[in-house]
Amino acid sequence: MIITPDLKDKVALVTGASRGIGAAIAVALAEAGAAVAVNYRERADAADALVADLNKAGHRAIAVAADVSQAASVARMIEHIRSTLGPVDILVNNAGIAIVRGVDDLTEDDFDRTITVNLKSAFLCTQAVVPSMRAKKWGRIVNISSGAARGAGAIGPHYNASKAAMEGLTRGYAARLVKDGITVNAVAPSLIATDMMSGRTELAARIPLGRLGHPEEVAQAVLMALGNDYMTGQTIVLNGGMAFV
């Protein structure tokens, strides 16, 4: 049985939510009753289409453009959400990039861009929503990490570093916000059937379960983290049995 938390009267922000894992999470949150802000940077058409589908189904949703790696852009986004839907109660830091590089062709720019988009964005968005969560004595933050935080991965050491640091960020915030009624957890999926994995079905051979994961399965793990008041500072790993933590 899948237990879905009741998120009625909650406002959720999902970054990088125009497609893939982010879109699946946005749908799951809306179906659980939350009003959802679908953040995107470039894919306005995809974000608008997702929001239109959610609104047509009777949910409250808006699309909001923002580069979440830039503080001023984050501040404008949070204010727009507040004035349209209300203060953010639930933050899912999903925005990220995956620049595939080997050790010999990895550049300083690749490293800086990856850390900025994958890690700094989570810091900026978290800092922006914590005050309103503290005021309510309730908040939920979920950071989307990766199996690359612990394993070699296929993208590169810069990506490994960004995701391992995100899990450190998760624990650091969790320890400091728990007394304010705010939980902070991470979900770490590996080899999920998204655009990033397009044309790479051979990777399923690595997975004992025999298939790639589904974005909706990642969304289920996010819902579990949101609905569990006693869990904070933890990482939920989804990898089809490739590794055990």
User: For the chain, how long is the longest CA-to-CA vector?
Assistant: 51
**DSSP helix/strand/coil, 7:** coil
Question: Where does residue 29 rank: exposed (0-12), middle (13-18), buried (19+ CB within 10 A)?
Answer: buried
20: left (phi over 0), alpha (psi -120 to 50) or beta: left
Whole-angstrom CA distances from 176 to 8, 43, 135, 167 are 27, 35, 15, 15
Tell how many helices (H) and how many strands (E) occur in the chain. 7, 7
Active site residue 159: yes
Catalytic residue, from 40, 159, 173, 230: name it. 159
**Positions marked catalytic:** 159
